[in-house]
Amino acid sequence: MKKILFIVFASVAAGRAVAQSDPHYTMFMYNKLMYNPAYAGSRDVTEINATYRDQWVGIEGAPKTINVSADGLVGSHMNPDRRVAAGISFNSESIGVETNTDIMTYYSYKIKLASSTLAFGLSAGAKLYTANYSQLNPYQTNDQNLQHDVKNAFLPNFGTGIYWSTDKAFIGASIPNLLQNYYDKAGEKLNNQASREIRGYYVSAGYVFPASEHIKIEPQFMFRYAGNGTYQLPANADLNLSAIFYNRVLVGATWRTDKSVEGIIHMQVYHKFNMGYAYDYSLTAFKSYNSGTHEIVLGYDFIRDNSQYTDPRFIKAF
């Protein structure tokens, strides 16, 4: 039944093939670079983050995603007025007979305000898209959408964003994929919207409240919308509430408006290394066909002056 369910899903996706091209992560608070290029360098350290996501465990061909990203300010750490930051990310996603491999670069320019920072960002890169439709065994063998495989289609893209932050708050808005590429299945130009990506729009914000000497409360959200005037995906948002204990351990819960809940735990193992785990549980009938989604994140900070960053992940929370 699970295999049949996925084949139905894949056939529908191939037939409509209109999709949001951006990856989705539960621990979006540790993957802001993926959604907003202006975030690069916002933590004043050079950082490397890696994420693995195994979605809808138990369903054959369900999405699996790996992401590795790095970003940091450009120039000597002795300069207190560094304004330029850069970053790079690699993202690989497989779902059934389809694979997407993205490599993106990021640039951010920061303006220091009285007690905050305003950053503007740009991203540029490309995706390699492959779809082996010939491996499917569809119910309708004459489906024209499944007649041609796609081999490493080169899909360039650009993005932009803005990010304002203080020591306790942040607000960001971005468009990670300005171009709306299409998948050329038959080696010919398409004259309709059937195989086109659609542009995604993101808004996020968060704030840290000191609840006591050793506990902080951190509500934050991420809102997503994708549409191109002809086709729109349902808007959705992640609403997260987390507690930070002793600047070392974060425990949180997220409600996703498309009817799922997530639990998150994150630890600052020591001042340079952190790790986290998230579990997603569907609140729809789809939960009967899978055992949830698992996500793991690992992070490492290159800190040159340890006296300034005892616990960099939470001292500068954003």
- Ordered by start, the domain boundaries in the chain are 2-315
Secondary structure class of 19 (helix, strand, coil): strand
Tens-place pLDDT, residues 158-186 = 999 999 999 899 999 999 999 887 765 55
CB 67 within 8 A of CB 31: yes
As a whole number of angstroms, the distance between CA 209 and CA 116 comes to: 17
CA distances from 57 to 2, 47, 194, 288, 296 (A): 11, 30, 29, 11, 14
Query: What residues are paired with 197 via a beta bridge?
Result: 19
Tens place of pLDDT per residue across the chain (318 aa) = 444 444 444 444 433 444 545 678 899 888 799 899 999 999 888 999 999 999 989 888 889 999 999 999 998 877 778 899 999 999 999 988 888 899 999 999 999 998 899 999 999 999 888 888 777 766 666 666 666 777 888 889 999 999 999 989 999 999 999 988 776 555 544 444 456 678 899 999 999 999 999 999 999 999 999 877 677 778 899 999 999 998 889 999 999 998 899 999 999 888 788 999 999 999 988 888 888 999 999 999 887 666 555 444 444 455
Asked if 182 and 163 touch (Cβ cutoff 8 Å), the reply is no
The residue ranges of DSSP E strands in the chain, in sequence order, are 19-20, 46-54, 64-73, 84-95, 98-112, 117-131, 150-165, 169-175, 197-198, 200-207, 209-210, 215-227, 232-245, 249-256, 260-270, 273-282, 293-302
The DSSP element (H or E) to which 34 belongs, if any, is helix 32-35
Give the C-alpha separation, 88 to 74, whole Å. Answer: 13
Class of domain 2-315: mainly beta
- Residue 65: partners with Cβ closer than 8 Å, 6 or more residues away: 23, 25, 51, 52, 53, 55, 91, 92, 93, 94
Contact 276, 27 (CB under 8 A): yes
